[in-house]
Chains A and B, each alone.
Chain A
Amino acid sequence: MSEEIQALPQIKKPATFIGKYVFSRDHKIIGLQYFFLALAAALAGTLMSLLIRLRLAWPQERWPLLEMIFPNGFSDGLMKPEFYLAMVTMHGTMMVFMVLSVAPQSAFGNYFLPIQIGAREMVFPRLNMLSFWLTFASFVVLIAALFVAGGAPIGGWTFYPPLSAIASAGPGQGAGADLWLVSIGVFCLAAFLGSINFIVTTLTRRTKGMSLMRMPLTCWGWFTTACISLLAFPVLLVAGLLLFLDRNFGMSFFKPAGLVVTGQVIEGGGGSPLLWQHLFWFFGHPEVYLVIIPVMGVISHVMATFARKPVFGHRAMVTAMLAIGALGFLIWGHHMFVSGMNPRLGLAFSVLTLVIGVPSAVKTFNWLGTLWGARIRFTTPMLFAIGFVSLFVSGGVTGLVLGQMALDMVFHDTYFVTGHFHMVMGVAAVFGIFAATYYWFPKMFGRMMNETMGKLHFWLTFAGVYAIFVPFHLLGIAGHPRRYADTLWFDFLKPLEPLHIFITIAAFVTAAAQLIFAGNFLLSLRKGARAGDNPWEATTLEWTVATPPPMENFAGRLPVVHRGPYEYSTPGAAKDYSMQTESLD
Chain B
Amino acid sequence: MATTLTPKQTDAPSTDGGGFDDVGDGGYGGDDGRGGGWSNELTPPPEGYSLAIRLTIVSITMLFLALTSAYIFNRARLQPLVTPRVLWVSTSFILASGVTMELARRALRRRLEDRFRLWISATMLLGLCFLGAQIVLWKRLVASGFYVNKNHHSGYAYIFTGLHGAHLIGGLIALAYVMARRPASWTAVRRRVSVDATALYWHFLDGLWIYLLILIFYWR
Contacts and interface: CB of A to CB of B under 8 A. Distances in A.
Most buried by B among A268, A270, A274: A270
Interface in B17-40: 18-20, 22-28, 31, 33-40
Contact of A234 (B20, B38, B41, B59): B59
A434 to B, nearest CB: 30
Interface in A256-300: 268, 270-272, 274-275, 278-279, 282
B74 A272 contact: yes
B70 A204 contact: no
Nearest to A4: B40
Contact of A205 (B25, B45, B149): B45
A9 B3 contact: yes
A389 B138 CA distance: 56
A196 B22 CA distance: 19
Given A196-B52, A207-B39, A275-B70, A237 B34 contact: no
B171 interface: no
Contacts of A252: 149, 152
B155 A203 contact: no
B33 A211 contact: yes
A171 interface: no
Interface in A227-255: 230-235, 237-239, 241-242, 245, 249-253
Interface string B133-159: 000000000000000110110010001
Contacts of A54: none
Nearest to A213: B27
A8 interface: yes
A214 B33 contact: yes
Contact of A238 (B20, B38, B70, B152): B70
Interface residues of B, number: 49
Interface stretch (B60-68, B98-106, B175-183): B60-68
B149 A200 contact: no
B70 A203 contact: no
B55 interface: yes
Nearest to A230: B59
A1 B31 contact: yes
A252 B31 CA distance: 61
Nearest to B25: A211
Interface in B38-53: 38-42, 44-45, 47-48, 51-52
A103 interface: no
B214 interface: no
Given A9-B1, A123-B48, A211 B60 contact: no
Of B19, B25, B34, B59, most buried by chain A (CB within 10 Å of CB) is B59
Nearest to A282: B66
| Most chain B CB atoms below 10 A, which of A213, A239, A250, A561 | A213
A11 interface: yes
Nearest to A232: B62
Contact of A213 (B20, B26, B149): B26
Interface of B: 1, 3-4, 18-20, 22-28, 31, 33-42, 44-45, 47-48, 51-52, 55-56, 58-60, 62-63, 66-67, 69-70, 73-74, 148-149, 151-152, 155, 159
